[in-house]
Amino acid sequence: MLLEAHHVTRDFGAFRALDGADLTVADGEMVGLIGPNGAGKSTFFNCLVGDLTPSAGRVVFNARDVTRAPPEAHARLGIGRTFQVPATFEDMSVLENVMVGAFLRHPGRAAAIDAADAVIERVGLAGLRNARARSLGTPGRKRLEIARVLATEPKLLLLDEALAGLNPAEIARAIDLVRQIHASGITIVIVEHIMEVILSLAQRVIVFDQGRIIASGKPADVVEEPAVIEAYLGHSLKRGQKR
Amino acid sequence: MGGRLALLALAAAAMIVAYPLVFSGAFMGRLGALVLLSAIGASAWNILGGYAGQISVGHAMFYGIGAYVPLMVYKLWELPPVAGVPVAVVFSLVVAILIGFPTFRLVGHYFSMATIAVAELIRIVISNWDFVGGAIGLMGPATSRTVLDLSFKSSVPYYYLFLAVLAVVLGVTWHLERSRMGYYLRAIKAGERAARSLGVPVRRYKLFALLLSAGFTSVAGSLYALMIGFVDPDSVFGLLISVEMIIVAALGGAGTLFGPLIGAAILVPLREFTNSAFGGGGSGITYILFGGIIMLIARFEPGGLMEIGRRAAALFKRRPREAARVA
């Protein structure tokens, strides 16, 4: 197993945001995390990438315990992540943003530029190579974030609502990009609100509600489960089917 | 364009080197040396404050240590003050490590306020510590015993000494800017959380930046003591010393290589002219001047003069292409 989370729990004061979540992700999988707002997805996500330390439980990546490791150690071991609200380095150019990621495996400047350029080409930002990040729109920033984390050469990529705020045409392009990244051999865990995305991308879906995992399995099966429909999917799925 | 820029840089360098030969008067000679000294201090601050975005308002503590230790070395053992320069650097680095660990847990304004508090604390301790001269301060050798005392009547030797040190500081900064550390520092400035997610060991790099910055600031303080030959707590540990480094760097362009030098070339003459025009009360005018400049930079151009220059250059570059399109 590439990633194993055992009974991960996280309290904020008296409030238990996450209650004993288990997850195993095999090398090469694409797993979706879904659930209504406040279900604990983001808390779980942040425990997996090292932004939050679990109150209890264990996170193991590639046979190494990373439960208490800081985010930079996660990056070094090969866990990459994007942010829900793009956190691009605004005053730096697209190339410089991606170079920050590339420096992790390529300490020399020339090698970092080469590695960054290859990634920029791959995600389709070559035309904006020297533009400052602040001049990019939302789709450009999301793409830049993905480029930046790809430059760290992760084995596992965690995407936190990488498609939120995009219009349908942009979503289609972004889905292509995620597929292409997955096809290149990177394991992906994706948190997403948009059902269409999860259903078309993920091989396996984990459903959260009130801090617990209430269902998991193939997307088509999971959406049929009564508990899931009751918790979250009821309305949005039916509306989706009518359309 | 690149060729013209290189020519411009060459001309500027020639002007800087030839300055003492052109302006041989005592006032202008001293002014030139003070501009370079201020540029060294601001460039040193710039490594931590400009590139890494950690706005220290307490760099006077390193400047003061740099100024005091050489004169203490003279007072205690009658050694040439210059022997105290490396000792001062070591002292400054130790202080930097001691304050770096607790203060780097703080973010933004809280970090700045903590640095003010530590610097003021040190100033007050020095002011009340008779061993280091108390509120009166310390004197260097009154007359030059050997050339090693670096005590000259003319400011020309100081000018070239300062120029050499500035060249070293800017050389290190230039190298830093192009290296992994430079990119990491700018990433930390732009967003610590994102930087960490990309594998940047944020705390370690902040500490590196602080050490480099503190070491060079200490040297700037030592150079001040060597040239002036007298230090007291207010003139080297005072809050105004820290504030001036920030304003000089911010006016020229914080986080740029030549910003601090440009800022010093504008601000130091202004300060010296107001001081000499208004006599002893002039230092009050200096405060007002600094306050006004802070407001103008913050309101209209946080990137400083370098940013204005960059924008003007971009406009300049675009024009010929547009002209071609019209034709």
What would the pLDDT profile of B233-268 be if each residue is shown by its tens digit? 999 999 989 999 999 999 999 999 999 999 999 999
Inter-CA distances, B318 with A129, B40, B73, B303, B307, Å: 18, 35, 58, 21, 17
Angle separating helix axes B109-127 and B60-77, nearest 10 degrees: 20
Q: Which of A128, A153, A178 is the last residue of a domain?
A: A153
| Range of the structural domain that residue A125 is part of | 79-153
Structure tokens at A158: 């965690």
The most confident of B123-137, B164-178, B279-293, by mean pLDDT: B164-178
Please indicate, yes or no, whether residues A63 and A169 belong to a single structural domain of this protein. yes
- Same structural domain for residues A99 and A147? yes
Amino acid code (one letter) for B219: V
- Say if A196 is an interface residue toward chain B (CB within 8 Å): no
* Together in a domain, A86 and A193: no
Last-in-domain residue among A153, A181, A212: A153
- Do A148 and A164 share a structural domain? no
Torsion of CA A41, A43, A47, A48, to 10 degrees: 20
Quick one: which H or E segment has residue B53? none
Determine contact: A110 vs chain B, CB below 8 A. Answer: no
Query: Do A170 and A120 lie in a common domain?
Result: no
Q: Do A109 and B180 touch (CB under 8 A)?
A: yes
Q: What is the mean pLDDT of chain B?
A: 88
CATH code, B123: 1.10.3470
- CATH assignment at residue A210: 3.40.50.300
| Statement to judge: residues A68 and A176 lie in one domain | yes
Q: For B194, which of A76, A83, A107 is closest by C-beta distance?
A: A83
Q: What is the pLDDT of residue A135?
A: 92
Both A149 and A182 in a single domain?
no
Residues A65 and A178 reside in one and the same domain: yes
Q: Could you give phi then psi for residue B313, rounded to 5 degrees?
A: -65, -40
Residue B271 scores a pLDDT above 70: yes
Are A210 and A95 in the same domain? no
Shortest CA distance to A30 belongs to which of A53, A3, A6, A59? A3
Mutation choice for B interface testing from A103, A141, A148 by most B CBs within 10 A? A103
Q: How many domains does chain A have?
A: 2
Count structural domains, chain B: 1
Q: What's the CA gap between B14 and B21, in Å, rounded?
A: 11
CA A41 to chain B, closest CA, distance in angstroms equals 18
Residue pLDDT tens, chain A, 243 long: 899 999 999 999 889 989 989 999 999 999 999 888 778 888 999 999 999 999 999 999 999 999 999 999 999 999 999 998 889 999 999 999 999 999 999 999 999 999 999 999 999 999 999 999 999 988 899 999 999 999 999 999 999 988 888 888 888 888 999 999 999 999 999 998 777 778 888 899 998 888 888 888 888 888 778 887 777 655 554 444 444
Domain that holds residue B117: 2-326
Strand partners, B230: B139
The residue among A153, A186, A204 that closes a domain is A153
What value does the mean pLDDT take over residues B130-155?
82
A160 touches B at CB < 8 Å: no
Same domain, A66 and A83: no
Q: Please tell me whether residues A34 and A51 are part of one structural domain.
A: yes
- Alpha-helical (H) ranges within chain A are 41-49, 71-77, 94-102, 109-123, 138-150, 168-183, 195-201, 219-222, 226-228, 234-242
Helices (H) and strands (E) counted in chain B, each on its own, are: 14, 2
Same domain (yes/no): A3, A70? yes
Give this complex's ipTM.
Answer: 0.90
Q: Which residues share a beta bridge with A3?
A: A25, A61
